[in-house]
Chains A and B, each alone.
Chain A
């Protein structure tokens, strides 16, 4: 093999990795400049800001009983009181950051491990691929929320365990998307060259394959963040989350649903914040997908199923 060529290939692939890293920011920035992306990003950041800085501005303690139960809005309590007479505004300001942090944690866990599973299945092929994908099929035989509920019922309602449970429930979908994306990449010439140079398998996956998966990774991360928020808030709503006195947008809705006609704000405000947060993340993700993949995003599970159907039913017809 020609040494010069060999060298130029390594230089090129490391260059690709570097460009890849910058491209990541470039795509995010370009997505933020589209009308849709700007709309999504602004809403997302606005709600995230309320969640992050809210506790500093809460006028009352979010757990002390300062007014009467389901009292109507007044000057001192702009959104009235909740089921136990606590200040709704303070609870709203204080009730977002845990939800947001848990959603981010679950997303990180799910995307990192899902990507690891998907990329190694595609690159290592053979028996490892078979075993990993069978495991993925089995987790996919439950609805995500049901799977998270099953895990919660096993491990009990501890916050970090809930983060792991929700993160874990993301793994199959992320793994499938990244597996199909890296199948093509791992057949490329520069991967073969890296192998010949004696890179370890893990090294090849990290340095050669992963940098080429930035677009699907970004889209997946955005999507899983949206779903994490939905599932987390759902678990909170069902009463599996932060234990009672702590304020949380999800649990506030179920706590105050009885008093909907007396003080609707106790329900409407947290519901609206959750809705805006998911609208923001989803819209921005949509804009990122349009920029990164250059096409209208198909409903992502449809892409998943399509891959499976094509792979198994018509792959070698």
Chain B
């Protein structure tokens, strides 16, 4: 990216974290704006408009016309876009084409369910990945290190539904019968009110996200432990636990934070399949249903929500990683 003179001067004056934060938030807003335009135009160029998609072959010119007017399809494209974009902020998102209920009422409980799923899986996965990674690095070449390394390599890049099926086979149908294999949630009851339903989806997502984090934590910790300043601290006579906790680990934090961020990004996509396997009523399943029904308002809204989450996680990751890198914190 070309850096103009002015911004360079500003850069010197501003704290690097503030500079990064401002730069990232601005570019994030631009990205989201373009995303909204792309999503809107892309879903509008569908062959045959939404009204036709709903009515299908039973469409008569009159019913088509009436529905077009109801969905504001008879207005200009910019007008439609503006109505939609302002609706994103005011919550007036129109009605789902498939169920004719307001989009927000349809998506809100799903957002809460998915939010719980992502947060719990992300937090657990982070704790397990970091813990195992650090232990494997401290006990490099031990049986623990070898076992976890092989396990991590095997599970990396395995599709979610394969892991999910494996867990279902193991825990809820064939071997043991401890957990429900599909979620039966009555509308109005949220996932966190029935923790047993969360166990398998969370376990699946944790298994899928842990290997990356584990490998990154292990590699970063080993690198930090073998660095000169750690050697120096040891030679000074600093006790080993102090060396590990205060000299080595702080320098392994930044790359680990990047991977934690990536894991959360991954979860936003991973929930689509996992929710479908376990019939978990979240946004992922909502998106799949909407795509099968060509329910455009719902597709548009869910995709925008996921993109916003993506941009937000990206900004948070970069800022936290920068803040956690001692040598990059101070401006020069």
Contacts and interface: CB of A to CB of B under 8 A. Distances in A.
Interface of A: 36, 126, 130, 134, 137-138, 140-146, 149-150, 152-154, 156, 226-227, 229-230, 233-234, 237-240, 253-254, 257, 260-261, 264, 267-268, 271-272, 274-275, 278-279, 281-283, 286, 296, 298-299, 301-302, 305-306, 309, 311-314, 316-317
A138 B169 contact: no
B326 interface: no
B272 to A, nearest CB: 5
Nearest to A238: B288
Nearest to B20: A313
Interface string B183-220: 00000000000000000000000000000100110010
Contacts of B268: 143, 146
B272 A149 contact: yes
Interface in B302-323: 303, 306-307, 310-311, 317-318, 321-322
A13 to B, nearest CB: 30
A92 to B, nearest CB: 15
A126 to B, nearest CB: 8
A264 B173 contact: yes
A260 B173 contact: yes
Contacts of B215: 299
Contacts of B38: 138
B85 interface: no
Interface centre among B2, B23, B269, B322 (most CB of A within 10 A): B269
Given A145-B273, A299-B215, A305 B158 contact: no
A306 B216 CA distance: 13
Main secondary structure, interface of A, reads helix
B168 A237 contact: no
A143 B265 contact: yes
A275 B156 contact: no
Nearest to B28: A141
A261 B174 contact: yes
B332 A317 contact: yes
B173 A234 contact: no
A275 B16 contact: no
A317 B35 contact: no
B251 interface: no
Contacts of B212: 299, 302
A146 B39 CA distance: 12
B262 A302 contact: yes
Interface of B: 1-3, 8, 11, 16, 19-20, 23, 27, 31-32, 34-35, 38-39, 42-43, 45-47, 153-154, 156-162, 165-166, 168-169, 173-174, 181, 212, 215-216, 219, 255, 258-259, 261-262, 265-266, 268-270, 272-273, 276-277, 287-288, 290-292, 294, 299, 303, 306-307, 310-311, 317-318, 321-322, 328, 331-332
B180 to A, nearest CB: 13
A317 B11 contact: yes
Nearest to B32: A141
A149 B268 CA distance: 13
Given A153-B299, A317-B11, A234 B291 contact: no
A153 to B, nearest CB: 4
A144 to B, nearest CB: 6
Contacts of A282: 153, 156-157
B12 to A, nearest CB: 9
A261 B173 contact: yes
A305 B291 contact: no
A234 B159 contact: yes
Given A142-B35, A314-B16, 16 more contacts: A130-B2, A141-B35, A145-B273, A146-B268, A150-B303, A238-B276, A253-B161, A261-B173, A268-B169, A274-B162, A283-B153, A299-B262, A309-B258, A313-B23, A313-B322, A317-B331
A49 B3 CA distance: 53
A122 B310 CA distance: 25
B161 A137 contact: no
13 contacts: A141-B311, A142-B307, A143-B265, A146-B306, A149-B288, A227-B157, A240-B292, A260-B168, A261-B173, A278-B159, A298-B216, A302-B258, A316-B11
Given A143-B268, A312-B1, A314-B328, A233 B159 contact: yes
A153 B291 contact: yes
